[in-house]
Chain A
């Protein structure tokens, strides 16, 4: 039985989830990407939403197994924008989303295969002209023009945001774990191929790719005599020091403060 939300009910919120081909960290086998699956889960738990899945990439046996993993969460179909291996999927995704714009676009923060730079959601939001929110913890309320959500911050903190629709929301490990993918719906679901021109990624062509080497982990030496000290050390906040809180600042004052900070940190050297 397909999930309720896949039925296009009148007045339902149109939600699109971008899904990618994941890679298991131990064996490297393709699978549904964890963050993308969490994004699908977040979409499926919305009331009165019509959820569609979109994938841009090559269509091959391995990637099909992974994509069917998303279908197994309870979908009848998935839009597959077929692209060549060297393609930059951004233009294809942008034009697909412009043709039929959803009110809400969900995706994982970073892909498990390919570049995995985590930039795609930002570039997509920029080219669509939509706001982007990262680190979704929970979608609290949907209104016709806005969505209220909780954004995950470090150490379990949450920030409530009210965002104008349409919007791009990215999901990481802070969102609830995805539901099980069932074999039956995964096998039955259809991959609906959608035609889009493949634009080769010029930058990628100039790069040399090699497998990442696991970097040695820095040992965290905790000199604590008691369990209480160890707990405090583990739970302690990163000590930033400095910093300032601006209240009631004008946008110009805020921007100046940010530029000053970036210059102090050496990020914006050329403006000096």
Chain B
């Protein structure tokens, strides 16, 4: 009886899956066009899955092995089941291979089940709770049904009752695992995920046979010359189709939720819920079926949307509330953790762009900061002619007078901040001690456009960027050095699309090079335990984790690491314009970060970013660690008895 039932079940499941796939693809194609190499993309899926995706999944060893066993077992078992049971070809080794595959899958599903006994809060419940049972039903059902095929059991063992039970188990498994994949069940992540890897909007993220993938963190520019082009994303259908596909690939593992600083602070943002809301919007309906952690302070079931309806309502509620989008610090912790390679930050900025450029609704100080950037080229509304007042006694060499220098020192808007001026003075002292040939733009420098862009004001960003690029084009320099990772990121990764390509270094990278080359002599440090806070825009955005640590080690300090450091560093709360939009939560992000610092027992936290300095130094706590920039630490440790070196002279000697 089974040899009649199983082929029917298998082929009807495949047919239903195909119908579902067409329907699902139609949902994605509601999005705006985004050209991709179709065949090349599909051909790259195995490598992107086995190398790049696995690299992220493997950060959790148990889960990674569980997934290898379950998914690998299922793919093998399903392929073999089509041959063995669907086509009735059980001869030779095939049946035994099918037994091995379904047994492996069963073992994997036991681990899936174990994780579901007391699931961590980040995991979604609901239909995901039945997934281990479905996996077991399929693997057990196929295993037992295959026993007669290889001759272990007689063909009619157990009679019709066992046959019906087996067929039911296999049918359940097929429903969940085969056509559930395209009809929106938990297994949707496999179908959408594979295609998402194929047609990812940032294909350069993935490794190829030629080498590892590149970090691709710069936001994509809006076309402002085309008056018809939409300004950001108003409705789910305004996303590109492969962005919609990316949202649909979400496996609801909640790794993003676990690392999101805004979620931890009780602000109304949960990256996982946001991605699920986009899926709800793409398909149309309400978020009532969502079975994970909600946005803190917002009940599930009160929001609904459709593909062509607004995501954020001007008044009342739609799919997502504006404050959810404005809670994000753009720290990229979620993107770094996402095993499905979803680009949360791109989506959030896309939606912010619409709110700012069309609604004119940047919250709190947002409008004021943007007005200042337009009128004075800096967010504080200071006189742009006073950018060098802090350095009145330093006689900084000006590019306008020199025309060229080896290093263009980009000062950033920290020039108006008295705390950051100390860092800048320290950096200038270090550069002079090393005899670096540098110059500054002075009053010709403008805000890099980082804050404007992340507040969604692409127009002001592009205006600032184009004028900065025109200024930089007048001068000759080998590279730009800056102590502001936000300027660094924008100059290095976002000006390129507008025609400005530069070699940019963070000051910690540059100081490390000076130390390694022997241009700086340092005294023995008297500092105690020091920990280092990775700025998001230096670490996750630009991959520089090593140089600041190397500088600290050269200082001879006792370096201790926080539990969350390196690529898992927790944001200070200062990115993405978050201090400007200032969405209330239950606690402050910098307070949480300073708790991380105090857990290490460090007396001093070294930083490399004006935002981080301001956010962390603003924490009021007893016995809080001292906050100092890397440049300040190096400047304090300079051995001024050593003779100053003249870099230019030495270079000329070398040339001779």
Contact = CB atoms under 8 A, between A and B. Distances in A.
Nearest to B231: A184
Nearest to A74: B360
B361 interface: yes
A180 B367 contact: yes
B376 A183 contact: no
B389 interface: no
Contacts of B381: 26
Given A183-B459, A184-B231, A188-B227, A24 B376 contact: yes
A182 interface: yes
A180 B360 contact: yes
A267 interface: no
A182 B359 contact: yes
A187 B366 CA distance: 20
A27 interface: yes
A38 interface: no
B358 A182 contact: yes
A182 B357 contact: yes
A185 B376 CA distance: 23
Given A26-B383, A31-B375, A184 B357 contact: yes
A73 B360 contact: yes
A32 to B, nearest CB: 10
Question: Interface of chain B, helix or strand or loop or mixed?
Answer: helix
Contacts of B382: 26
B231 A183 contact: yes
A134 interface: no
Contacts of B359: 182
A94 interface: no
A77 interface: no
A187 B376 contact: no
A260 interface: no
Identify the interface centre among B357, B361, B362, B375: most chain A CB within 10 Å of its CB: B375
A180 B383 contact: no
Which residue, A26, A27, A181, A184, has most C-beta atoms of chain B within 10 A?
A184
Contacts of A29: 374-375
Nearest to B357: A183
A1 B231 CA distance: 13
Given A1-B314, A183-B457, A24 B358 contact: no
Interface in B279-314: 314
Given A180-B367, A183-B231, A27 B360 contact: no
Interface string A56-93: 00000000000000001110000000000000000000
A179 interface: yes
A24 B375 contact: yes
B529 to A, nearest CB: 42
A27 B376 contact: yes
B357 A26 contact: no
Contacts of A179: 360, 367
B384 A27 contact: yes
Contacts of A74: 360
B458 to A, nearest CB: 8
Contacts of B383: 26-27
Contacts of B384: 26-27
Given A1-B314, A26-B383, A27-B383, A72 B375 contact: no
A181 B360 contact: yes
B448 interface: no
Interface string B349-386: 00000001111111000110011001111000111100
B594 to A, nearest CB: 32
Nearest to B456: A183
Contacts of A31: 371, 374-375
B362 A180 contact: yes
Contact of A26 (B361, B367, B376): B376
Contacts of B366: 180
A111 B366 CA distance: 26
B357 A180 contact: no
Nearest to A72: B360
Interface string A18-46: 00000010110101000000000000000
A31 B367 CA distance: 14
B375 A182 contact: no
Given A1-B314, A183-B231, A183-B457, A27 B357 contact: no
A167 to B, nearest CB: 29
Nearest to A28: B375
A72 to B, nearest CB: 6
Contacts of B356: 180, 182-183
Contact of B227 (A1, A73, A182, A187): A187
Given A1-B314, A27-B384, A184 B375 contact: no
B68 to A, nearest CB: 49
B354 to A, nearest CB: 8
B180 to A, nearest CB: 40
Nearest to B359: A182
Contacts of A187: 227
Nearest to B366: A180
Contact of A184 (B314, B358, B376): B358
A74 B361 CA distance: 12
B212 to A, nearest CB: 39
B222 to A, nearest CB: 10
B369 to A, nearest CB: 11
A176 B358 CA distance: 22
Interface string A171-214: 00000000111111101100000000000000000000000000
A180 B227 contact: no
A9 B122 CA distance: 51
Contacts of A73: 360
A180 B376 contact: no
A26 B377 CA distance: 11
A104 B402 CA distance: 59
B358 A180 contact: no
A182 B367 CA distance: 10
Contact of A27 (B314, B358, B362, B375): B375
A183 B231 CA distance: 9
A48 to B, nearest CB: 17
Contacts of A183: 231, 356-358, 457, 459
A7 to B, nearest CB: 15
Nearest to B360: A182
Given A27-B375, A27-B384, A31-B375, A185 B370 contact: no
Among B367, B370, B457, find the residue whose CB has the most chain A CB atoms closer than 10 A: B367
B361 A180 contact: yes
A72 B460 CA distance: 14
Contacts of B361: 180, 182
A182 B359 CA distance: 6
Nearest to A30: B375
A72 B384 CA distance: 25
Nearest to B232: A184
A24 B375 CA distance: 7
A26 B375 contact: yes
Interface in B381-423: 381-384
A184 B357 CA distance: 5
Interface in A214-247: none
A181 B360 CA distance: 6
Given A27-B383, A180-B367, A180-B370, A185 B375 contact: no
B370 to A, nearest CB: 7
Interface of B: 227, 231, 314, 356-362, 366-367, 370-371, 374-377, 381-384, 457, 459
18 contacts: A26-B376, A26-B384, A27-B377, A27-B383, A29-B374, A31-B375, A72-B360, A74-B360, A180-B356, A180-B361, A180-B366, A180-B367, A182-B361, A183-B457, A184-B357, A185-B358, A185-B360, A187-B227
Given A29-B375, A31-B375, A180-B371, 16 more contacts: A24-B375, A24-B376, A26-B376, A26-B382, A26-B383, A27-B383, A73-B360, A74-B360, A179-B360, A180-B356, A180-B362, A182-B358, A182-B359, A183-B459, A187-B227, A188-B227
7 closest cross-chain pairs (CB), A and B: A182-B360, A180-B367, A180-B360, A184-B358, A24-B375, A183-B357, A183-B459
